[in-house]
Amino acid sequence: MINVAAIRMQQFGVQFYQASLTASDIDKLVRFEVLNYASGSQAGVRGGRPRAASTPSKVNWDLLERRIASSDKAYQRQIIRRKIDELVQYYEQCRQARDLPSIPGAVIISCDEKLSFTASDGNPRLGILRVPEREGILRAIDGQHRLLALHADIDRFEGEDFSVPAIIFDRLPEDHVVQMFVTINAKHTRLNASHLVSLSGRQLYRDYALATADDVVRALNDRDDSPLHNEIKLLGVGKGRVAQAPLAQEFKRLFASDGMNGGRRPGEAHEEAKKFFVNYFKQVALVFNGAWNGRKYSIRSAAALRAFIRVAPDVIRRLDQEHAERSDFRAIGRVIAPWGRRIGDLRFETEGQWKRGGTTVESLTKELKLALQYPEGAAV
């Protein structure tokens, strides 16, 4: 056990502690993790390595990245490399000048195990908090960048009397931890909307429709055979051109309705949805081949993709009428073939019909629906 000075506090029936941790306590007890869906669970660090011509970093990134775990069960954002570098530089300035504290504000931490508190004789709120001496027993809810910078700079703290103020919760329920993280970061630090989508679907509200939507978006982005491979900004980062959040919200509305399940069990509907939408967009890419692979078209914009998602139930109804498997690649192609004849590539030319017609999600959805309803071009 590690004994630390602490104040026992309570708010609305919730008990927590304000404690003083040393730099070595932080280095030993805190584990760092980020939300990441990448295969292989690579460390989630955002931002490229500094160029040789720029100021060399004081951070050993190879060592630091090995300290950062990543999984789809975590909740923290990817680590911002520039922020760590700036904090380490600031710590160095504080150490040299000795006129400012480097971490004056409390970090917020959750402990995986029950903590014990021994009150002093004179005041039941003051006392000693006993923290199990186990590596990684603490997780940062707020202040992960500050603590990572401390870890990166820990060799320079040798011989220093250095304490970090910390608010510590013990055995806080997982959904409460995530809700606190979102509440702290959503407004004050402008938490990315795509990151919120992933958290609310899985850790925060456990919304089945949103979790399924999130998985479909990731399948479209991650699968090598998907025409949207690496085109979507998962968690708000990456090289993709389309944000995750608007697509996931469009899918959520779809999966919240009964039309997508068709009486199937949740697990079956979940897997079928991923297969259907990958094959569906593969066929869309074939039907509008010129636009999909051209540079001056808006077919892969968020508005166009959302319209294709909205019309998916119509495609599925037609597949069901034909008694075809919903994920049947060729059957999907037969159903949406009228789009090639009635709509065509030029409809998506950015400086042409797309802009002249003031295209919206609603207007394009209506055109796609009519083309399915009247495949031979019958007047309406």
Read off the pLDDT band of 378 (50, 70, 90).
low
Q: Is 73 buried (19+), middle (13-18) or exposed (0-12) by CB count in 10 A? A: exposed
pLDDT score of 308 = 96
pLDDT score of 194 = 62
pLDDT score of 292 = 95
Stated length of the chain: 380
Burial 294-325 (b: 16+ CB within 10 A, else e): eeebbbbbbbbbbbbbbbbebbbebbeeeebb
Instruction: Give the contacts of 288 (CB within 8 A, at least 6 positions apart).
Output: 299, 339, 340, 343, 344, 345, 348
Q: What is the pLDDT of residues 192-227, one digit of tens each?
A: 666 666 666 555 556 678 778 888 988 999 899 999
CA-CA distance, 237 to 240, in Å (whole number)? 8
Q: What is the pLDDT of residues 227-251, one digit of tens each?
A: 999 898 876 566 778 888 788 888 8
Q: What is the pLDDT of residues 107-162, one digit of tens each?
A: 888 888 889 999 988 888 999 999 988 888 888 888 888 888 888 888 777 778 88
pLDDT score of 371 = 93
Q: Which residues pair with 11 in a beta bridge?
A: 14
- Give the residue from 232, 231, 344, 324 showing the smallest Cα distance to 284: 344
Handedness of CA 209, 210, 212, 216 (dihedral sign): positive
pLDDT score of 379 = 47
pLDDT score of 52 = 45
